[in-house]
Amino acid sequence: MPANRRGRHLARAAAAGALALVMTATACTGAGQIEEGVPADLDVAPGVTDDSVVIGAHHPLTGPAAPGYLSISRGASAVFDYVNEQGGVNGREIDYRAEDDAYDPSMTIDVTRELVIRDEIFAMMGGLGTPTHSGVIDYLNDEGVPDIFPSSGALAWNNTEVHPLTYGWQADYTKEAKVQGEYIAEHFPGQSVGYLYQNDDVGVDSQAGLDQYLEDEVVARQHYESEVTDLSAQIAELDRAGADVVVCSCIPAFTAMGMLEASRIGFDPQWMVSSIGGDTATLQGLLQEFTSDTPAEGTPADAFLEDTLVTTYLPRVEDPEDEWAQFFIDVYEEYGGEDQITNTHIFGMSQAVMFAQALKSAGPDLTRQALVDALENEEWRGPGHVPFASSDGDHGGHEGVFVVQHQSDGTQDWVQEARVTDREDGPIEQVEGFDRATPEELEFHD
Amino acid sequence: MSTTTGQRPEPSTEAASTPPPSLPERWRALPLPARNLLGAAAALLAVIAFLAVTGDLTALRLATVGYTFLAIAGLQLLVGGSGQISLGHGAFMMIGAYSMALLVLHLPMLPLATNLLIVVAVSAVAGIAVGAATARLHGPYLAGATLILAVGLPGIAHRYHDLFGGSNGLNIRTVGAPPFLDGIVTTSEWRALVVWFTVLLVLAALATISGGRLGRRMRAIRDDETAAAMSGIPVGRTKVVAFVIASAAGGLAGGLQAYVLGTVTPSSFSLVLSLTLIAALVLGGIGSLWGALWAAVAIVYLEVWASDLAKVMDLDHNVQHNLPIVLFGVVLILVLRFWPLGLHGGLQALRNRIARR
């Protein structure tokens, strides 16, 4: 049967040909050996028209991470609505598209491609999460999409050699921990310190900073996994080790859980909480939720939070005298959802203000290069309380933190002015000559 | 991909010797592996053609459909073929994905094909270990034992933080399209091609296994273990072999996923993944490899379509974001209510009805 044989030959030829093609393509180079390509062309302006500019972000809008972090994109959205109401930026309305990735890295990749390819975003603004954003940072830089202010304090965002288009935002975990460590060493000398941290880069980077000041005082290092919602073993161990001060490098849910568990077993340390888990408004909500149907039901949240030290760099809802805090409360009242504004909202709102400011500085002839130039040359003057780095190879974002202490009546005392430092072992310095602009002075809309 | 009919085992081949062979007869006269390979080649051409007319975003999704298809195909062979229910298939994907990531990170000089072969070997070894331990279990007991795997394995990534990167996982960069294809094929398209080439090659093998002696033995065991044993079929060994093949397919799918996405995290391989795979297989049709294809398409595209639909309808945020999950459930219930054999069963019934007219 010649036809039959021909068919078989054809099959073999096709298979062999295809196999050979793949073999030659993959056999010579190792799968992990990347050659640096040519940098992407930045003199382009996708997503920009005469009256609008499209920007994107990936956020957990569903799933377990959503309740805590949904507020960030809502806050940003409210500010952009406000900006658009004022006439936009250089005559352009900001079209902000926050896509849901459910905090799942594989979904982040999909929604990011969707934003870049289909929505043709001009820039990415505030993509949330370390594991999620890590998966798209290479892609964004390769495609030449400015990756502005990722919502995470990982050190990886400030690496201009590899990711020149990524501009960090949050005071990174090490900087923040150094200031915490110094504060504890100064104000609680000789006291035993315990660490409670999330077992990922948050924990590693935070300890790198804390240990510079507290290495000899540490009596316990306890970690948790964000998938396991139980801290009883960790808190018991901190209690057993006799920690007088507990530094919590945790997300809000675990800060609340830790405080509840400690109070349940009668352990009453001095808490020091990082900005990521120190949004007291969010904590109050969580504490209320966690205590319902337990013997502690009805205990005011402030009873748990009393005396807690929190490091932060942004305006806070607890500080309504602050012009920016007042401005954000007003804006959210008018343009936000029905939910109560928290410091997590302010996180997203501050990002939005600073992004709009850079967009304004980039001028009417908007290209990606113009935006990058604007970021490199911007003179930042708030809303944050600390200087901000986005130039000369340092894309570190907020350069330091200040310390507040929560009071039993729900107010907060400012106990240490902002201090700045680096992420290595450099000194911690007080901020000098940082002049914040008021919401009226700052040019971030038309 | 209509030419891949060869993937279905033909009921008989006795008609092959009539003197003037017509085209279908000639096709049937081909040995099964050749038919499957030809079918796979044709399918690959279809994928290439499809890629040529669509863009980068579709390439990524097509690649996702590809490796999901492979994972579910392995599961189909196990569940539909040998009647063993595994709720831990995602765990094998995780083993494959982490193997791939570690290989790329620590041995960057190894070519991709070698990596994929190693990934298959590693997951097959894991499959032997698990399969041998669970060969005596069946029904809900096996499901329970494999469930432990899906629940427990992600914990290992947390426990050995330094090696596996904890909850942030591992990020890898792999080479894109070879230089001589520069400007013709984008990196995403190249990845989709590599994925589908591998997937179709393995599927041809799976279809051959399914249609051959091993497949027959597995089905005999599925239908009645005692009867199979009395007919001289080595029950335990066959079950372990089926489990190992499924694990290897799952592992390879995981390896391809790591290659396409460039990131592996424990949260991607949760129990939800394992359950989704099996639910999707039921949706697609548990009795055939075709069912695995519909299942993979459903997993990837139902979500995309649902979120597009939600956006068009301008729904409330909370509704909008949960619509994809609801839609998947509703579709699953509806399909099972009206087509108990899944999408593939439904399509077949439809075809038969049209043929009868």
Q: How do residues A371-397 score in pLDDT, each as one tens digit?
A: 999 999 999 997 999 999 998 889 999
In this structure, what CATH number is given to the domain that contains residue A202? Answer: 3.40.50.2300
The alpha-carbon gap from B136 to the nearest alpha carbon of chain A, in Å, equals: 32
Contact B26 A200 (CB under 8 A): no
Coil, strand or helix: which one is B18? coil
Contact B61 A110 (CB under 8 A): yes
Say which of A28, A66, A110 has its CB closest to residue B60: A110
Q: What is the pLDDT of residue B3?
A: 40
Q: Give me the mean pLDDT over the B56-60 stretch.
A: 87
Q: Give me the mean pLDDT over the A90-96 stretch.
A: 95
Contact A1 B21 (CB under 8 A): yes
Tell whether the model's pLDDT for residue B262 goes beyond 70: yes
CA–CA distance, B269 with B324 (Å, rounded to integer): 19
Token pair in block for residue B198? 């591998």
Contact B109 A23 (CB under 8 A): no
CA–CA distance, B189 with B203 (Å, rounded to integer): 20
A115 and A59 assigned to the same domain? yes
Q: What is the pLDDT of residue B28?
A: 81
Q: How many CB atoms lie within 10 A of CB A377?
A: 11
Give chain B positions within 8 Å (CB) of A200. 166-168
Structure confidence at residue A57 as a pLDDT band (50, 70, 90) = very high
Contact A11 B197 (CB under 8 A): no
Q: Give me the mean pLDDT over the A255-266 stretch.
A: 92
Q: What percent of chain A has pLDDT over 70?
A: 93
Please check whether residue A252 lies inside any domain of the structure: yes
Tell whether the model's pLDDT for residue A45 goes beyond 50: yes
Q: What is the pLDDT of residue B2?
A: 40
Tell whether the model's pLDDT for residue A5 goes beyond 70: no
pTM of the model: 0.84
Instruction: Look up residue B357 and give its amino acid.
Output: R
The strand ranges marked E within A4-134 are: 52-59, 93-100, 123-125
The alpha-carbon gap from A420 to the nearest alpha carbon of chain B, in Å, equals: 27
Scanning every residue of chain A, which has its alpha carbon at the shortest distance from the alpha carbon of B21? A1
Instruction: Look up residue B161 and give its amino acid.
Output: H
CA–CA distance, A59 with A115 (Å, rounded to integer): 13
Q: Give me the mean pLDDT over the A1-19 stretch.
A: 57
For chain A, give the mean pLDDT: 89
Tell whether the model's pLDDT for residue A405 goes beyond 60: yes
Q: Give me the mean pLDDT over the B156-180 stretch.
A: 85
The dihedrals phi and psi of A418, each to the nearest 5 degrees, come to -60, 135
Q: Give me the mean pLDDT over the A62-85 stretch.
A: 89
Q: What is the pLDDT of residue B81?
A: 87
123-162 in chain A: CB under 8 A from chain B: 130-131, 134-135, 138
Please check whether residue A217 lies inside any domain of the structure: yes
**Which distant-in-sequence residues (6+ apart) come within 8 Å of A209 by Cβ?**
A173, A174, A175, A176, A177, A178, A179, A180, A181, A423
Give chain A positions within 8 Å (CB) of B173. 32, 34, 138
Q: Give me the mean pLDDT over the A68-76 stretch.
A: 90
A162 and A239 assigned to the same domain? no
Contact B104 A34 (CB under 8 A): no
Each domain of chain B, given as residue ranges in start order, spans 2-6+22-269, 272-357
Q: Give me the mean pLDDT over the B274-299 stretch.
A: 91
Domain that holds residue A273: 173-312
248-267 in chain B: CB under 8 A from chain A: 257, 259, 261-263, 265-267
CA–CA distance, B128 with B151 (Å, rounded to integer): 19
pLDDT in tens, B5-52: 444 444 444 444 455 667 788 888 888 888 889 989 999 999 999 988
Q: Give me the mean pLDDT over the A413-417 stretch.
A: 91
Contact A14 B41 (CB under 8 A): yes
A198 and A266 assigned to the same domain? yes
Give chain A positions within 8 Å (CB) of B166. 199-200
> Of A331, A365, A386, which residue constitutes the final position of a domain?
A386
Give chain A positions within 8 Å (CB) of B113. 22-23, 26-27
Interface test with chain A among B100, B196, B265, B299, by most A beta carbons within 10 Å: B265
A264 and A322 assigned to the same domain? no
Q: Give me the mean pLDDT over the B153-162 stretch.
A: 86
Q: b/e for A259-288, b at 16 or more Cβ within 10 A?
A: bbbbbeeebebbbbbbbbbbbbbbbbbbbe
A212 and A91 assigned to the same domain? no
A223 and A97 assigned to the same domain? no
Strand A147-148 to strand A123-125: parallel, antiparallel, or no bridges (unpaired)?
Answer: parallel
Tell whether the model's pLDDT for residue B256 goes beyond 50: yes
Interface test with chain A among B28, B167, B172, B305, by most A beta carbons within 10 Å: B167
According to DSSP, the residues that pair with A128 across neighbouring strands are A151
Say which of B110, B158, B325 has its CB closest to residue A199: B158
Scanning every residue of chain A, which has its alpha carbon at the shortest distance from the alpha carbon of B55? A117
Instruction: Tell me how far CA of residue A439 lies from CA of A43, A382, A387, in angstroms.
Output: 31, 9, 17
Contact B263, A135 (CB under 8 A): yes
> Of A287, A312, A337, which residue constitutes the final position of a domain?
A312
Structure confidence at residue A11 as a pLDDT band (50, 70, 90) = low
B235 closest CA partner among B123, B128, B138, B129 = B138
Per DSSP, A364 falls in state S
Instruction: Look up residue A343 and give its amino acid.
Output: N
Please check whether residue A278 lies inside any domain of the structure: yes
Instruction: Tell me how far CA of residue B214 lies from CA of A434, B12, B222, B233, in angstroms.
Output: 75, 17, 12, 10
Scanning every residue of chain A, which has its alpha carbon at the shortest distance from the alpha carbon of B263? A135
B16 closest CA partner among B6, B3, B29, B27 = B29
Q: How many CB atoms lie within 10 A of CB A156?
A: 20
Say which of B26, B55, B113 has its CB closest to residue A23: B113
67-96 in chain B: CB under 8 A from chain A: none
> Of A312, A346, A375, which residue constitutes the final position of a domain?
A312
A154 and A198 assigned to the same domain? no
3-state helix, strand, coil in chain B (%, to 5): 80, 0, 20
A165 and A287 assigned to the same domain? no
Tell whether the model's pLDDT for residue B196 goes beyond 90: yes
Least confident interval from A5-9, A218-222, A360-364, B76-80? A5-9
Tell whether the model's pLDDT for residue A36 goes beyond 70: no
A166 and A225 assigned to the same domain? no
Alpha helices in B174-212 (DSSP H): 187-211
- Domains identified in chain A, total number: 2
Structure confidence at residue A76 as a pLDDT band (50, 70, 90) = very high
Tell whether the model's pLDDT for residue A355 goes beyond 60: yes
The alpha-carbon gap from A409 to the nearest alpha carbon of chain B, in Å, equals: 34
The alpha-carbon gap from A200 to the nearest alpha carbon of chain B, in Å, equals: 6
A153 and A234 assigned to the same domain? no
Q: Give me the mean pLDDT over the A85-105 stretch.
A: 92
Q: What is the pLDDT of residue A199?
A: 85
Tell whether the model's pLDDT for residue A319 goes beyond 90: no
A198 and A112 assigned to the same domain? no
Coil, strand or helix: which one is A183? helix
B26 part of contact set with chain A, CB < 8 Å: yes
Tell whether the model's pLDDT for residue A3 goes beyond 90: no
Tell whether the model's pLDDT for residue A238 goes beyond 50: yes
Q: What is the pLDDT of residue B314?
A: 74
A27 part of contact set with chain B, CB < 8 Å: yes
Q: What is the pLDDT of residue A28?
A: 53
Token pair in block for residue A272? 């020091």
B219 part of contact set with chain A, CB < 8 Å: no
pLDDT in tens, A274-308: 999 888 888 888 888 888 888 878 888 888 899 99
Q: Give me the mean pLDDT over the B133-154 stretch.
A: 86
Q: Give me the mean pLDDT over the A391-414 stretch.
A: 91
Q: Give me the mean pLDDT over the A399-427 stretch.
A: 91
Instruction: Look up residue B131 and give its amino acid.
Output: G
Please check whether residue A235 lies inside any domain of the structure: yes
Q: What number of C-beta contacts closer than 8 Å exist between A and B?
A: 151
Tell whether the model's pLDDT for residue A25 goes beyond 60: no
Contact B112 A18 (CB under 8 A): no
Coil, strand or helix: which one is A418? strand
Structure confidence at residue B288 as a pLDDT band (50, 70, 90) = confident
Coil, strand or helix: which one is A243? coil
Contact A274, A311 (CB under 8 A): yes
A180 and A153 assigned to the same domain? no
Say which of B64, B168, B194 has its CB closest to residue A131: B168
B294 part of contact set with chain A, CB < 8 Å: no
Q: What is the pLDDT of residue A27?
A: 52
Interface test with chain B among A28, A29, A249, by most B beta carbons within 10 Å: A29
E strand or H helix that includes residue A26: helix A2-27
Radius of gyration of chain A measured on its C-alpha atoms: 24
For chain B, give the mean pLDDT: 87
Please check whether residue A75 lies inside any domain of the structure: yes
Q: What is the pLDDT of residue A392?
A: 84
Say which of B61, B113, B154 has its CB closest to residue A22: B113
Handedness of CA B269, B275, B277, B278 (dihedral sign): positive
